[in-house]
Structure 1
Amino acid sequence: MSFWKVAAAQYEPRKTSLTEQVAHHLEFVRAAARQQCQLLVFPSLSLLGCDYSRRALPAPPDLSLLDPLCYAATTWRMTIIAGLPVEYNDRFIRGIAVFAPWRKNAWDLPSESWCMSGPSFQNHHGGR
């Protein structure tokens, strides 16, 4: 049986630009890499600063701004999961971006291939 080292990034939400959010994520990636982690998971909407007060989510970011996370996944042979809005049924919903070490980028498949709806549930932040 093989074992994985998994890390979860936990931090106070920051209201900064996407570029600064990516840089902040990379600090956690480097720390996880020093511990030889294979999977690093960030909070919901982490690339937006985890802002749960928004009623409507903004459009997904310019994907080229996320390239440093693709590069980091390849460099450190680590799968990185970060939260961001995705478009689904003509609206923006909470989603994830998966940066995998074996993929050149996270965007080479159409979003329809990766989007699926599921049951809604109440969370401790009051959101659905």
Structure 2
Amino acid sequence: MKPLIIAAAQSTAIAGDLAGNIARHQHFMRHAAEQGVQLLVFPELSLTGYERELAGELAVSPHDSVLQPLRDVARETGVTAVVGMPIRLSVDTPVLIGALVLAADGSLAVYSKQHLHPGEEVAFAPGNGGDPLTIGSDTIALAVCADFSHASHAAAAAISGASIYAAGVLITPNGYTPDTALLQGYAVEHGMVVLMANHGGTTGGWASAGGSAIWAPDGSLIAQTAGTGDFIVIARRNAHGWSGQTLGVEVPQ
């Protein structure tokens, strides 16, 4: 197996503050780069917070120049970042929940959440997913929160050849046990690494459980946070298999 380092960014969002959240993401990316991380996945709507009532005014084109500072850091550090953002694919189209892949080579890819959680339809339309991404010899399939509640979504990722299934989410304490059991089950069923990046604190009026985690293809836990707060959850692969590490992140105020 070729060496690989992936990570979940358990970040806390400032409600509706795109500039402030971009600065926080840059800090996470640089911190991850110090650990050799190649892929860093942020929570659902990480750049705005899970603020449904603000989504329409905050939504941008994936190619908007407001995201250029993050794309610059991706190239500078060599960290491919998957960030959460409300997006419009053109001026007159509905708002989607986007996961934007800001690649280390400067390229951009778009994933849009396919399966909405009940209540999200007031602010968002269902998206069309997106192509898997490739890092070295690995294929990574993306998911955003409720996507993974559909077994067919993870199955399609496996059929596409994905060795890693990476989800940016907002999971509350009540949903944490069943949701993580589902994700761990996908690791076992499909022989994939499964990564889950949850919010580090309350967002949009919803309490997050934190507890971001990464599971190995046999379902064993590689690394996990103990609860909420700002953390990077790292999984490293070498010839001997997977090892994990969880690092706290002190985000500048």
The normalised TM-score by structure 2 is 0.40
Return the alpha-carbon distance in structure 2 between the equivalents of residues 115 and 24 of structure 1.
22
Q: Which has the higher strand share?
A: 2
> Relative to 1, partners in 2 of residues 1:27 and 1:55: Cα closer, same or farther, differing over 3 Å?
same
* Matched AA of 1:19: A
CA RMSD of aligned residues (A): 2.8
Structure 2: which 5+ runs fail to align? 119-145, 147-170, 176-253
Q: Which has the greater radius of gyration?
A: 2
1:23 alignment partner AA: A
The answer to whether the 8 Å contact 1:14/1:50 transfers is no
CA distance in structure 1 between the partners assigned to 2:27 and 2:113 by the alignment: 32
- Aligned-partner Cα distance in 2 for 1:49–1:12: 8
Distance 2:25 2:48 in 1: 11
Give the number of aligned pairs: 117
Partner of 1:106: 108
Question: Residue deviations 1:29-80, cap 9 Å, x none?
Answer: 01101101000010010111233xx257222268212111111111111110
Q: Which segments of 5 or more consecutive residues in structure 1 lack a partner in the other structure?
A: 108-113
Q: Which residue of 2 aligns with 1:34?
A: 34
Structure 1 residue aligned with 2:73: 72
State the secondary structure of the residue aligned to 1:83. Answer: strand
Q: Percent identity?
A: 32
Deviation of 1:121 after TM superposition, in Å, equals 5.6
4+ aligned runs moved over 4 Å, structure 1: 114-117, 119-126
Secondary structure at 2:55 match in 1 = coil
